[in-house]
């Protein structure tokens, strides 16, 4: 079969056409159909805008019925996995499940929530949703439209659907796994049949996700086995290409020890916050990253806090503790294996059983929600142990604490500019409360590193937070506090790639004099033309608070013009208040300067997000 693409109507350059001709040369019909299905799957999983009429009308190879994505024959024998993921964890779980299902010969498609065509929901027979919850009960950005659609009036009745939900979250937040819970309840309300109970995975994701996934796979096998599974080649979603395998050998399980190159305070010494610029060497690691990625730091807990816990609970640190085939001294568990600076609801539940405190018991009842929120927000583990004394055995104590999770820092450099280095912007958490000093695990670890130290690290890719491939696009960056970190990398990258698009940065912090992070760099960038606009909001330099969203509103008209002309908008920083306030400001700007209704403005921003032109990296 000859599959010569039409030179005039195809969207390809001469080079790509030649490549295509070489690729398809000599392939038999089956192989060509397989290839067309594969490419259709790639398009389906990455497409944000409808196919142009010219391209649709002139597809070089028409899609055969056996690989058409929504073919009715496939739906009843197909498992659909929809995921919504902010930091990549839900995506990883969904991908792993999809790979296993594919390996088991099932017809599976894996779809990111913002590329899922919700009109297909009414036709689904078997659906698994894997979704995380952000901050105060918000969906991940890539699932906002999906969650809104499901909750709304337009969601169809789903009597034909069987489903299960895996929620991911962080139990130190009161709204733990709220989005998973909401979707689970809503699908049932729409008449779908819940196959098995919702999973609620905490930071130690695998302990819940692994049994949930096993059950999901068993059920899918059972339900789809009587129908003849579609041949492997007909699987529309290209699972292997969706699962990006990082070339490096260094992972969260096996981090690279990166030598410390610099650890410099960039906030004034007499200011309130201690903000560090940290530089690490990646030389000979083979690690590479893109602007927008995060660096995972595998920290050691503060030794002084471990000593304080041991003393308070009257534990012997050298005593061996075994848990799930792992054995270490109690001190080692607390130093390197367990969360001891944060607090989780499951720990509080266990502690309440031992503390016999009415106040604590009340906080765990539904009506004690506000007290629980305060406890989880303000208290560290040691504060709870002091406020509500209880007897613990060492083994039970270790078992009740969550595994120590690596901390993710947005990378503040571009590898094109700094070579084998990676830079971070770190706010050192160190404050007095309840009469004692409190520190954060990773920031304290980084801040107190000796000069010749090494830091165990790995790269956490973040494909949702990427500069536009088209370097002529303008970019708007909103990053108060240490949220400015990735934008230092963005601006370095735009300079290195000689991007012709303009760069506009919104930054805010308490005081101009003490907290103007990277001031000299921004001023130089403004001068040499790699930064075009800089808007500042120093919140405490005047009697009324001034935040980045005030600057956004003030510049609303110009901002809207940039967006209407194709600019990409990025937000990084605090998820609980700032991200929501900035989102509201952007919506108001679209209403006022775009002449849209509230609902249309929401749709406009959702559409921007779906097109990856409004990306947020917030937690
Ligand atoms: P911060 O606490 O976010 O404060 C920065 C500035 O924002 C201050 O001037 C603060 O003003 C102001 N602010 C307070 N409430 C605000 C609101 N509702 N809207 C807009 N601005 C507001 O700075 P930070 O200590 O550097 O912390 C940065 C936050 O970003 C942390 O929560 C950190 O975890 C997060 N972060 C996330 C990422 C990521 O997700 N990749 C990366 C870096 C940082 P006042 O204090 O005067 O009220």
Residues of the chain with CATH 1.20.990.10: 312-400
Does ligand 1 lie within 6 Å of residue 508's CB atom? Answer: yes
Which tens digit of pLDDT belongs to each residue from 380-430? 999 999 999 999 999 999 999 999 999 999 999 999 999 999 999 999 999
335 DSSP 8-state letter: I
Which tens digit of pLDDT belongs to each residue from 181-223? 999 999 999 999 999 999 999 988 988 999 999 999 999 999 9
Does ligand 1 lie within 6 Å of residue 439's CB atom? Answer: no
Question: Count of CB atoms within 10 A of residue 16's CB?
Answer: 12
Residues of the chain with CATH 2.40.30.10: 256-299+406-460
Q: What is the mean pLDDT of residues 271-285?
A: 94
Does ligand 1 lie within 6 Å of residue 88's CB atom? Answer: no
Measured between alpha carbons, how far is 274 from 268 in angstroms, rounded to an integer?
8
Contacts of 306 (CB under 8 A, 6+ apart): 317, 331, 334, 335, 340
CB crowding 362-373: b at 16 or more within 10 Å, else e: ebbeeebeeebe
169 CA distance to ligand 1 middle (Å): 21
Q: CA-based Rg of the chain, rounded to a whole angstrom?
A: 26
Strand order in the sheet with 614-618: 533-538, 503-509, 475-478, 568-573, 614-618
Q: Which of 85, 511, 578 to mutate to test the pocket of ligand 1 (most atoms within 8 A of CB)?
A: 578
Nearest CA to ligand 1 atom 23: 481
Residues of the chain with CATH 3.40.50.360: 14-234
Measured between alpha carbons, how far is 171 from 207 in angstroms, rounded to an integer?
14
483 CA distance to ligand 1 middle (Å): 7
Which tens digit of pLDDT belongs to each residue from 521-535? 999 999 999 999 999
Does ligand 1 lie within 6 Å of residue 552's CB atom? Answer: no
State whether CATH 3.40.50.80 applies to domain 475-618: yes
Measured between alpha carbons, how far is 103 from 99 in angstroms, rounded to an integer?
6
Does ligand 1 lie within 6 Å of residue 578's CB atom? Answer: yes
CATH second-level architecture of 312-400? Answer: Up-down Bundle (1.20)
Nearest CA to ligand 1 atom 36: 573
Q: Which CATH class is domain 14-234?
A: alpha beta
Measured between alpha carbons, how far is 391 from 299 in angstroms, rounded to an integer?
28
Contact 287, 495 (CB under 8 A): no
**Binning pLDDT at 50, 70 and 90, where does residue 40 land?**
low
Tokens representing 468 are: 């536009």
Measured between alpha carbons, how far is 187 from 193 in angstroms, rounded to an integer?
8
What's the pLDDT at 408? 95
pLDDT exceeds cutoff 70 at 490: yes
For the CA of 482, the nearest atom of ligand 1: 26
Q: Which of 170, 481, 513, 552 to mutate to test the pocket of ligand 1 (most atoms within 8 A of CB)?
A: 481
Does ligand 1 lie within 6 Å of residue 37's CB atom? Answer: no
Mean pLDDT over each residue of the chain, to the nearest integer:
87
Sign of the C-alpha dihedral computed for residues 492, 498, 499 and 502 taken in this order: positive
State whether CATH 2.40.30.10 applies to domain 256-299+406-460: yes
pTM higher than 0.85: no
pLDDT exceeds cutoff 60 at 228: no
Give residue for tokens 């604590």: 360
Residues of the chain with CATH 3.40.50.80: 475-618
């Amino acid at each position: 079969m000859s599959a010569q693409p039409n030179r005039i109507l195809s969207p390809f350059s001469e080079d790509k056409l030649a490549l295509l001709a070489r690729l398809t040369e000599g392939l038999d019909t089956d192989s060509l159909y397989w290839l067309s299905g594969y490419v259709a799957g790639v398009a389906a999983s990455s497409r944000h805008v409808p196919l142009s009429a010219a391209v649709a009308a002139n597809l070089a190879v028409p899609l055969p019925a056996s690989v058409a994505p929504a073919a009715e024959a496939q739906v009843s024998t197909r498992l659909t996995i929809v995921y919504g993921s902010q930091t990549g964890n839900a995506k990883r779980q969904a991908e792993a499940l999809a790979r296993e299902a594919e390996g088991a010969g099932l017809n599976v498609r894996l779809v990111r929530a913002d590329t899922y065509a919700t009109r297909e929901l009414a036709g689904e027979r078997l659906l698994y949703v894997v979704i995380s919850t952000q901050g105060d009960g918000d969906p991940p950005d890539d699932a906002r439209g999906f969650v809104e659609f499901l909750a709304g009036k337009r969601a169809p009745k789903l009597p034909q659907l069987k489903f299960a939900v895996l929620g991911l979250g962080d139990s130190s937040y009161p709204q733990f796994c709220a989005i998973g819970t909401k979707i689970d309840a809503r699908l049932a309300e729409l008449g779908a049949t819940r196959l098995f109970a919702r999973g609620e995975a905490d930071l130690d994701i695998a302990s819940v996700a692994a049994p949930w996934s096993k059950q999901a796979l068993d059920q899918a096998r059972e339900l789809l086995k009587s129908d003849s599974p579609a041949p492997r080649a007909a699987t529309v979603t290209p699972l292997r290409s969706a699962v990006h395998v990082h070339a490096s050998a260094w992972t969260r399980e096996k981090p690279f020890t990166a030598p410390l190159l610099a650890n410099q305070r960039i906030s004034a010494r007499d200011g309130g916050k201690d903000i560090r610029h940290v530089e690490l060497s990646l030389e000979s690691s083979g690690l590479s990253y893109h602007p927008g990625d995060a660096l995972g730091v595998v920290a050691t807990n503060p030794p002084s806090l471990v000593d304080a816990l041991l003393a308070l609970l009257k534990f012997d640190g050298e005593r061996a503790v075994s848990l799930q085939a792992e054995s270490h001294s109690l001190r080692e568990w607390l130093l390197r294996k367990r969360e001891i600076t944060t607090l989780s609801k499951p720990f509080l539940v266990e502690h309440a059983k031992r503390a016999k405190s009415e106040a604590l018991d009340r906080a765990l009842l539904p009506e004690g929600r506000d007290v629980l929120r305060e406890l989880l927000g303000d208290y560290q583990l040691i504060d709870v142990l002091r406020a509500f004394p209880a007897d613990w055995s060492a083994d039970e104590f270790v078992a009740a604490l969550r595994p120590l999770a690596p901390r993710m820092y947005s990378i503040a450099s571009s590898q094109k500019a700094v070579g084998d280095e990676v830079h971070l912007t770190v706010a050192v958490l160190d404050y007095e409360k309840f009469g004692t000093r409190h520190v954060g695990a990773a920031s304290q670890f980084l801040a107190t590193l000796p000069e010749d130290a090494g830091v165990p690290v790995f790269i956490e890719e973040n494909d949702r937070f990427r500069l536009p491939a088209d370097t002529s696009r303008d970019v708007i960056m909103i990053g108060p506090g240490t949220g400015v970190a990735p934008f230092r990398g963005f601006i370095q990258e735009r300079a290195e790639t000689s991007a012709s698009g303009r760069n506009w940065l919104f930054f805010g912090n308490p005081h101009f004099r003490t907290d103007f992070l990277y001031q000299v760099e921004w001023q130089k960038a403004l001068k040499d033309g790699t930064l075009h606009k800089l808007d500042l909001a120093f919140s405490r330099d005047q009697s009324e608070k001034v935040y980045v969203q005030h600057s956004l509103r003030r510049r609303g008209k110009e901002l809207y013009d940039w967006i209407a002309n194709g600019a990409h908008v990025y937000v990084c920083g605090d998820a609980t208040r700032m991200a929501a306030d900035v989102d509201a400001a952007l919506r108001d700007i679209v209403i006022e300067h775009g002449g849209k209704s509230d609902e249309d403005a929401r749709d406009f921003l959702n559409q921007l997000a779906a097109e990856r032109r409004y990306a947020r990296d917030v937690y």
